[in-house]
Structure 1
Amino acid sequence: MRIQPLVGLLALVSCQVLPAQETRGSIQGRVTDTSGAVIPGTAVHATNKATNVTVSTRSNAEGNYSIPYLVSGLYILKAEVGGFKTFIRDNIEIRIDDRLNIPIQLEIGELTEALTVTAETPLLESTNASMGQVIDQRRIAELPIAHGNPYLLMQLSAGVVYTQNAGLDRPFEPTHIVGYSMDGVKANKSEITMDGVQNSTVKRGTTDIIAGYTPPADIVQEFKIQTMPFDASVGHTQGGVTSITLKSGGNQPHGTAYWSLLDPSLNANLFFANKAGQPRGEFDYNRWGASLTGPVYIPKVYNGKDRTFFTYGYEGIHESRPMGSAYGTGTLTVPTAAQREGDFSALLQLGSQYQIYDPATRKQAPNGRTVVDPLPGNIIPASRISPIAKNILNYWSLPNDPGTADGLNNLIRVNDPEVITYYNHISRVDHTFNDKHRMFARVNTYRRFSYSSDWFRSAATGTDSEWKQHAASLDHVYQINPTTLLNLRAGYFRLQIQQTPLNEKGFDLASLGFPPIYTNAIDKSYSAFPYITISGYTATPNTWFRDPMANASLEAHVTAIRGNHTLRFGGDGRQYRTNHYVWNRASTGRFNFDNTWTRGPFDNSPSAPIGQAAAALMLGLPSSGYVERNASFAEQSTVWSLYVQDDWRITPSLTINAGLRYEIEGPLTERWDRSIRGYDFDTPSPLNEVVRANYARNPIAELPLEQFRLRGGVTFAGVNGQPRTLFTRDKNNIMPRIGFAYQMDPRTVLRGGYGVYFGQLGLQRGDVKQEGFSYATNLVPSLDSGLTFVATLANPYPTGIEEPRGAADGLMTFAGRAITFFDENPEASRQQRWQLSIQRELPQRVLLDLGYVGNHASSIQTTRDLRGLPLQYLSTSPYRDTAHINWLSQQVPNPFAGLLPGTGLNGANTSRSYLLSSGDYPHFTGISTTQYDGYSWYHALQVRTERRFASGWTVTANYLWSKNMEAISRLNGPYSPLEYVVSDQDRPHRVVVSAIWELPFGKGKSYLSDMPAVADKFFGGWQVQGIYTAQSGQAIGFGNALFIGDIHDITLPKSERKPERWFNTDAGFERASNRQLGNNYRLMPSRFNDVRTDGINSFDLSALKNTRIGERFNVQFRGEFLNAFNHTLFATPNTTPTSSAFGQVTAQRGYPRRIQLGLKFLF
């Protein structure tokens, strides 16, 4: 790892900081006498009651003091100065990231006299404007959460909505367990830290920020979700941050050992398995673990009491769970036994729209069209059935359920198991050298193994996965003087994800009947069952890979008290690296089957709802395919940041938080320059002259020769003078932040703030582009629209398999294919966020927080194809414009004929629409890049209430009412404006309530406190707790559907909504396949605000029994009822009007009721 730039940063900023994700708290205030006069030079000490570690400071000339970097726990605050009594305040609770304002008032007297003050820890946040929620240790340990996964309690925070897969809730499913949108920021775009150090990475192939590690719940002290922080120290996020702090040990040893199980006999069945008459699957689940904290003690060698403490946690999980719960999958579609013999006659009985056409009868028609005859009776003669197709389908399961009338969803495998084993270890050591130096170090690791997706019980399906993670961090705090502190941190994280076929590689392609010219070209060491897609049917799983990724960070920060100002300034450096090694079924060969050759009567006629693709397979006629040769890559990017923050206590009632942050992200690089860098827009393509000459002989009227030209091609990193970096550095990420907190009276605080945040670039924006270094030999079945075939299943690659040529082809790289490239001058998305809220302390120490929140994002990355049909060539007819569709799809002479072998552009003809869409880039079938014109708006009302634990109970309740709108895509191609539409993250309403109640019976309680000890073992020590969650569903749309009616009629009343009819399919949708729209100017929005998927409505309840054994030991039995009332969370309904399942829901998201039983030993 190259560490020189990181060291260089430290040398540059000397004592700088990234307390951005600081998890420790602070105590601050002003020291005065009884008359209100300030007392400088007062010694102030904060002593942790668990460790007896004391941190000290002195008040400055203005009487102000501050003690930062305090780990969570209970403290004693002491103040001493000559001529005054010693001030003592006990039981001050510091929670994660707390900034407690504790004024100290001294009385005249002797130091030997003690002035003991009894007061409760302040609830109001009177010194900062940031919005967030602390999840305390008791909630983490006792609320009913699946798998003891602390991240699932992020849902308790105000301002978050869950948008990911509710079925993926285990601690080693790092994308979905943190898949919360925070105050308008998209899910998985917010930072995650543990003990103040980065605990996140970017999932390769996506821009999702995922959890790097999930600690066992028993060693988590607490964590905080900041949905809108206005502190300039917060960075590497589009606006939110989740910070976890671990237990740091103490002088008294404490520990736990636990075991829990999910008994399948107690769980509910999946909705659709139950509906199909299938019993519950035979699943099993066991989770076990232990934790231990205390002083480091080595007999006769070292006693770490008051100085050195350790924390250790271990957890294991073994589970077999239903795939239908985890992924909403398992409702599949496969060809029937009759269809495998070529008999599709049952479909024809449903209507003429299921007619299959015979590709052998195809002939030329006027205007460049081709015409084909119906297949008699929808039955393929036995002599024409491909033996390879029959061999392929021998690896497919037969239906086990009738499904819909046309056979959709006819294989129910929702109870198929995914089997996983998981091991997790973590340890932390805290050490205090002296009153100026203290540090901690942490290491953690986990491994998971799984197999899944063996739908067909054959070599065609099934996947093995392995995840291996290692991480370490180091933190050191040095007190330079009583009012200045330096904090240094370092972190390292590595994760490797590997996915391989469940069945061993080395599948014999010849056994399917493929010819030697194809099978001999495939490396036997990784050959596998080929990747088969059949439109409308279930495909084989595809990708296998190995992805090692690593992050390193180095940070420094300073806190200084100057007058009424608490100053913080600092910076950090981060390095992201990812390697990628991919092999998949497409490396053996991909074969796509659709309706290209089996629809009719014309080549552009509408498709049948199902059946035509399977018929093409039986005839051995793929529509496309390829064999991949994939390059590996080793990519890297770096990020640097600087900031300054001033928390200015103007008056005892008013604090201003003002700061400025700057982030700069280094461009992405690939170690061996195996990547496209950009596009040369200025140089004519090498094909320009010959292709224009060909076009001049047969031009189309709408595209004059002077407008037909071929410009440029891709450029490569480090080639022909191009930089190695894949884009230029974005230097504009300046982020001002300002907030205020005004204490209107002792029980009321008014707070507000505004801040700017930027999104990520570099490796966090996307992977390198490897066109040329990775290469696919295309399967091109026909060069004359199906009049003749040059490649079939019998001989799919008659000219052999081509090898990648890297950058050797220059501007000709990928000519005749689709390309993507980086914008060489990218912009990070910009988030402007603001809030105004009021906090009020109510009786019973209940905190009420009522606020308005806003968020406006700009410069959001959008994807644009530089080719596209100009708007004037889109039909504006409200109905299917067949004449216009025929005109656009008319075959015309192809100026590329014979120039681009192995591509779809090599034939004699092409379509009119292709030429009209070409712009300056007809030599590429697609040319996709990015631009930065997207935007979004978010407005919300938030209500947060919290009662901390006291008198045997605690409760939190949050309500969110919001609207999230965005413009990030186009309805009508690259020349149309962005569509302003309700966001896919929009969930207008969300309610979350959590509560813990110790039943008031037994020893030390209000009732039956004097019952005999034996009776108390049975009737005392009970408590109940639960979480209730309600959330609106996601807005959905219907694609480019033809709709003639009132859109308000689409939504059904909730009382009429059911899986068989989720919305009103008779509201005005055109269902006939031959009347669907095409090549039209689309008006149908991509989402409807009033038509939504099922919303969350779930109760998680539990009861636990504590049985004390002596004074130090406790045995806890717990029963947890997750989704206690078995509310099915239905998946997205079918929104394709031509489908026989239109409007139906055929899968569920998340689990039915689960009952989790556990036993825990605590001391």
Structure 2
Amino acid sequence: MDVVFARSPTSQGDPCLERSCLSMSDIRIRACALLIVVTMLSLPLAAQEARGTVVGRVLDATGAVIPGATVDVISKSMGTKVTITTNEAGSYQAAFLIPGPYRIEAAAPGFKKYLRDNVEVRVNDRLEIEISLEIGTAEQSITVTEEAPLLNTASASLGGVIDSRRVQDLPVAHGNPFQLIGLAAGVSFTRSQRLDRPFEPTHIVGYSIDGTRANRSDVTLDGAPSTATANNGEVIASYVPPPDIVAEFKVQTATFDASFGQTEGGVTNISIKSGTNEFHGTAYFNKMAPELFANDFFANANRIERPDFTYNRWGGTIGGPVRIPGLYDGRNKTFFMYGYEGIKESRPRNNGTPTVATPQMKTGDFSSLLAHNSAFQIYNPFTRRAVGSRFQQDPFPGNIIPSSLINPVANNIQKYFADPLSTGNPDGSNNFQNPALLEKIDYGTHTIRADQNLGDKQRLFARISWYDRDSDYNNYFGNLATGEWFQFISRAAVVDDVITITPTTVLNFRYGYNRFIRATRGNPESDGFDLTSLGFPSSLNNAIPEQIRRFPRIDIAGYQGTAGGGEWRPNDLHSFNASIQHTRGAHFLKGGMEFRSYRETRRLFANDQTARFNFDTTWTRGPIDNSPAAPGNYGQSYAAFLLGLPSASNSYISRQPDYAEQSLSWGFFVHDDWKVNSRLTLNLGLRYEFENPLTERWNRSVRGFDFGYVPPFESTVQANYAANPTPEVPASQFQTRGGLTFAGVNGQPRGLYNTPKDNLMPRIGFAYRLNPATVIRGGYGMFFGFLGQRRGDVIQTGFQANTPFIPSRDNGLTFIANLSNPFPDGIIEPVGNANGPLTFMGQSVTFFQENPLNSYMQRWQLGIQRELGGGFMVETSYVANRGTHIELNQNLNVVPQRYLSTSPVRDDPTNNYLSANIANPFRNLLPAGAAAAYNANVAARERLLRPYPHFEGVNTTRFDGYSWYHSLQVNIEKRFSKNYTFLGNYTFSKFMQATEVLNQDDARPYEVISDFDRPHRLTMSGIWEMPFGRGQKFGADVNGFANAIIAGWQLNGIYTYQSGPPIGFGNIIFNGDIRNVALPRSEQSVERWFNVDAGFNRVAAQQLTRNVRTFQPRFGFIRAHHVNNYDLSMIKNNKIGEKINMQLRFEFLNAFNRPQFAAPNTNPTVAAFGMIQSSTQDNYARRIQLGARLVF
């Protein structure tokens, strides 16, 4: 049955393809769905695919097509064969070919047999090979010795292949193959370079690809998705194979193939090695030692010795045919491959705040801070008194707290705190840099793959992979108050079946499963901790179940606190793909479907379930309550701790529920690679995706917000307000409308939102051969982002409960709670959705938008490929991307801008007016759990000016963000020949975005340079087998001893240059020329990264607050440090007979020891403004890795 595709000539420019006006009727939706279904059924019936395809035509000497010719594509390593018969147009297609070398044979009656050897098929390759037959007999043959074509004449898609030689021989830390993703054009790395191990799944795929945000691209392993979710909206790699098991992988940066989806654009497609007809394997051992490391830049500056550590990595592979002597010979049929890698490590790691209190401060003596700067004066909250609408308190004489005022619980807690390791900065900060703090790691990973050839018409494979990583780290104080146990557990499996229905039709079915578990817990010594040992009341100790009771969480602004939260968080991903490929005339058709089920469950063991206390400057700054805090909060926050007076903000006991969430996604596609003529190929595709809304198994989630709900207390509140109104809001207009809605109750559906049903994605591309050495390629495609579990978790407001710490009901005139008795009224237990819209009134809430929108990317490219002499290929491309409906978070409950200051300087009259206390109309009216301010006698005026005064925050997501990206990309590649291979890429780009607001109630997001913008990125990599020794250019006639020394040397290297990220600034006062802020590179230092004297107001008392912000958050010409890195290695190959090679490996990572620094401090009120304060450099100092590898 022939199928005719009709496309509206106006569809690409239809404004209703813009999601802001997508209100597609049910008729259009059903019509689109029907088109896809009918099209798929009309084909006789490939999603993301790691295997390659060889296509072409069989011609005679005159160029006429030869129908009915037989083409065999034979794997040289496995002996398996795919047989195709050319159709009436002389076309053939061999699909689902495992990457590797192939031999192509073709024959037709009256023609000589055609033989072409060593055709290299790579990951997701689409090789076009035209076969020319000469007249003759079948007994005659013609052999073609050309290599696989360098030019891509069959597809418009962009990407880079990293072959197994590069994966195994290029110098890479920990052998992590994902570090080579950055060798592709259009890719920039935006995560921490220090987190480069294979079991750090967020950072190792932290790439921004062609204008998409980092961690938004897909990862597939043998064609099946291999991802999980860590942070909201971030895709991570759920499994990372060791290098020796990787056949190769492809970074697909701009693919216009409709079979690819579930991503905003980029895909990393990895293929695992298969066994072959001969037994092959590897075994390796790698060692790092402190004696081979350079010291960290900041450790040197602080005269801290290089820390001790241990590191060993070992592993190997074995593969071949399954043979059971006398019973079964699996050559050409059954193959296996097994790989293992282990890492055992104990290394420095310190993620904490590098500041602790000095011994003098622990006694209450802060006089040294006062001597440094009067802004560090500490005020006595027990002298607080009302002065008009404000509150005033007296300073502690000499900045010394009397011992009689030091809270006994605080005094017991601080016995667990460490003392400083150095003098630090003049203000006492940065005195706890501890590179000697160790993380202990045990890691092991396994992969087993089996391939079965059931004949010329069916091939299948199955793979299972798993790893376990255990870590013990972050024990800052060396006792039970800090320290965490961390575990990643990964399990993966895939089963794939390829069935040849006819010589022109092939089916493929694939099932994949991933389970990724993130498990953390606090120091086990803290389990069941007895709170009475610190002086807390026994009633508090007994109210907390022993299984979750731990050392409490203590947060002190500017200082290292305690830690030790925990969770058990499995992610499960089930995927199923069904696809078909069919050749009809000059059309290479394919269609199919993809289904994914994302599930996550979570159980918390956080130490805020024991208690969390947050200490800031609320009670210790002065002389009035709205005075500026001390720079960096130093001194004042620790004084509040000693006094036993936490802030009401972020001080509570939490009751946390479990959750089990799920979202389902579906994708359907049709695609046609149309060979129009010998020069032109068109890629035409259409993809449709749909996601079911996120659900929670027991409906334990918020759904939305009822903006019209009237709480029962509104009339009383309005009457109270009418007695003392503020002039900005007349009593007749004062309302308390709105409340939460919950899934599955009161008429609400189980789904947490309504998902879009119109995610159609056209894909179009072309490849035009201008001449034998030149191809012009271009394409356009749409790619939709995801909602559901990958973008965010369920919201369990109501099913969790926080018992707030309420220190005072009269703004500190009297204190009703402190550390000695923090929760005198007992613990609040969760009520779920029983209170309906009244839930969490008086607290901050978050809800799902009822009708969210998928973000989508429109990507296009136009480029030219040119084959040069010597096996080089160069490609130059213009690549662009336009993002629409990008999500951004918004708090709806803020003081409207019309009440805020628009002054360019601090506006104290406005500040005082908005923070002035007036009668509180909510006193004792809101449900239990409301913030302390709702039960006080007075309330700040600004609280009553907010649109939802009965809530603290009302948070949701808006979908009007957008971005745009333009780039010039140049790629140079030389495949291995003449003893070397080379790959180089340069990207010049600009990435702009409007995905944030300066003020929460801004109508439009702010257009600014993207935080992912890296305008210049250059990578070069190469492998060179040095021409020394017998059979080489130099030393061809040396004796055996000399040959053993000079032969077999190989040099390998990677160079990376990348612009630094733009530096972010806050709501600051700047009165100069912004162009004078950036310093020339020659003048930059860690003490002065930018010009701090260019016009910044640095006086703490003059900083802006309660104002309409106008200062731009980032500037493209003010950037943090760039990447300029060389990784080099030498390998000595020692042949033992003909089949064994013993390699000695010497790898120099960051060979020239160039530090890369973190972003500088951008708080103008602190002494470290403009300084780089990180306790460690952002990359590693030079590391030398020694290894031995046996290949057989």
Normalised-by-shorter TM-score class: over 0.9
Amino acid at match of 2:325: P
- Residue matched to 1:961: 988
- Residue matched to 2:381: 359
1:617 and 2:668 aligned: no
- Say if 2:44 and 2:505, in contact at 8 Å, map to a contact too: no
CA distance in 2, matches of 1:14, 1:1134: 60
Deviations 1:377-436 (A, max 9, x none): 111111111111111111110001111101110111123111101011101011110110
Give secondary structure in 2 for the equivalent of 1:551. Answer: strand
Amino acid at match of 2:1001: P
Greater Cα shift, 674-683 or 929-938: 674-683
CA distance in 2, matches of 1:1093, 1:458: 36
TM-score for the superposition, normalised by structure 2: 0.95
* Structure 1 position 708, deviation (Å): 1.3
2:442 to 407, 410, 421: 421
CA distance in 2, matches of 1:532, 1:17: 65
CA distance in 2, matches of 1:230, 1:702: 56
Give secondary structure in 1 for the equivalent of 2:1082. Answer: helix
* Structure 1 position 977, deviation (Å): 2.9
CA distance in 2, matches of 1:794, 1:11: 72
CA distance in 2, matches of 1:661, 1:813: 42
TM-score for the superposition, normalised by structure 1: 0.97
CA distance in 2, matches of 1:66, 1:756: 27
- Structure 2 segments unaligned to the other structure (5+ residues): 1-35
Distance 1:10 1:518, change over 3 A: farther
CA distance in 1, matches of 2:689, 2:907: 52
* Structure 1 position 331, deviation (Å): 6.0
Deviations 1:1004-1062 (A, max 9, x none): 21111222222211110001111011111111122011111111111111111111111
- Residue matched to 1:753: 779
- Structure 1 segments unaligned to the other structure (5+ residues): 1-8
* Structure 1 position 502, deviation (Å): 2.1
2:406 to 376, 385, 393: 385
- Residue matched to 1:306: 332
Amino acid at match of 1:309: F
- Residue matched to 2:543: 521
* Structure 1 position 732, deviation (Å): 1.6
Deviations 1:303-333 (A, max 9, x none): 1001111111010000112215xxxx35610
Deviations 1:703-760 (A, max 9, x none): 0123211212111111112111111122121101101111101111111111101100
- Say if 2:418 and 2:477, in contact at 8 Å, map to a contact too: yes
- Residue matched to 2:665: 639
- Residue matched to 1:1130: 1157
* Structure 1 position 19, deviation (Å): 2.4
CA distance in 1, matches of 2:43, 2:617: 63
Distance 1:189 1:1137, change over 3 A: same
* Structure 1 position 14, deviation (Å): 7.1
2:235 to 182, 185, 209: 209
Amino acid at match of 1:1091: I
* Structure 1 position 16, deviation (Å): 9.1
Give secondary structure in 1 for the equivalent of 2:299. Answer: helix
1:992 and 2:1019 aligned: yes
Give the alignment's Cα RMSD to 1 decimal.
Answer: 1.5
* Structure 1 position 923, deviation (Å): 1.0
Greater Cα shift, 124-133 or 1060-1069: 1060-1069
Amino acid at match of 1:1098: N
2:936 to 889, 907, 917: 907
Greater Cα shift, 974-983 or 69-78: 974-983
Distance 1:407 1:462, change over 3 A: same
- Residue matched to 2:115: 88
- Residue matched to 2:716: 690
CA distance in 1, matches of 2:1023, 2:890: 51
- Say if 1:289 and 1:314, in contact at 8 Å, map to a contact too: yes
- Residue matched to 1:665: 691
CA distance in 1, matches of 2:61, 2:771: 20
1:180-579 matched pairs, under 5 angstroms: 180-203=207-230, 205-324=231-350, 329=351, 332-366=354-388, 368-504=389-525, 505-579=527-601
- Say if 2:900 and 2:1106, in contact at 8 Å, map to a contact too: yes
Give secondary structure in 2 for the equivalent of 1:213. Answer: coil
Amino acid at match of 1:741: A
- Say if 2:568 and 2:603, in contact at 8 Å, map to a contact too: yes
Give secondary structure in 2 for the equivalent of 1:651. Answer: coil
Deviations 1:487-515 (A, max 9, x none): 00001111222111123311111111111
1:1023 and 2:1068 aligned: no
- Residue matched to 2:822: 796
CA distance in 2, matches of 1:17, 1:1133: 61
- Residue matched to 1:1005: 1032
Give secondary structure in 2 for the equivalent of 1:684. Answer: coil
Distance 1:28 1:876, change over 3 A: same
1:69-84 matched pairs, under 5 angstroms: 69-84=96-111
Amino acid at match of 2:743: A
* Structure 1 position 15, deviation (Å): 10
Greater Cα shift, 480-489 or 16-25: 16-25
CA distance in 2, matches of 1:206, 1:866: 20
Amino acid at match of 1:713: G
* Structure 1 position 10, deviation (Å): 12
- Say if 2:264 and 2:784, in contact at 8 Å, map to a contact too: yes
Amino acid at match of 1:866: L
Amino acid at match of 2:942: S
* Structure 1 position 683, deviation (Å): 2.3
1:744 and 2:765 aligned: no
CA distance in 1, matches of 2:128, 2:807: 75
- Say if 2:704 and 2:847, in contact at 8 Å, map to a contact too: yes
* Structure 1 position 908, deviation (Å): 1.2
CA distance in 1, matches of 2:396, 2:939: 27
Greater Cα shift, 16-25 or 136-145: 16-25
- Residue matched to 2:191: 164
Give secondary structure in 2 for the equivalent of 1:540. Answer: coil
- Say if 2:353 and 2:558, in contact at 8 Å, map to a contact too: no
Amino acid at match of 1:454: N
CA distance in 2, matches of 1:154, 1:1037: 27
1:713-728 matched pairs, under 5 angstroms: 713-728=739-754
CA distance in 2, matches of 1:869, 1:742: 58
1:742-1141 matched pairs, under 5 angstroms: 742-900=768-926, 901-902=928-929, 903-904=931-932, 905-916=934-945, 918-919=946-947, 921-1141=948-1168
Amino acid at match of 2:641: L
Distance 1:330 1:599, change over 3 A: closer
Deviations 1:754-774 (A, max 9, x none): 110110011111000000001
Amino acid at match of 1:815: M
Distance 1:411 1:485, change over 3 A: same
* Structure 1 position 249, deviation (Å): 1.5
* Structure 1 position 973, deviation (Å): 2.1
% same residue = 50
Give secondary structure in 2 for the equivalent of 1:615. Answer: helix
* Structure 1 position 192, deviation (Å): 0.5
- Say if 2:481 and 2:523, in contact at 8 Å, map to a contact too: no
- Say if 1:463 and 1:501, in contact at 8 Å, map to a contact too: yes
2:146 to 98, 101, 119: 119
1:1155 and 2:1184 aligned: yes
- Say if 2:1052 and 2:1128, in contact at 8 Å, map to a contact too: yes
- Say if 1:18 and 1:571, in contact at 8 Å, map to a contact too: no
Give secondary structure in 2 for the equivalent of 1:282. Answer: coil
Amino acid at match of 1:841: E
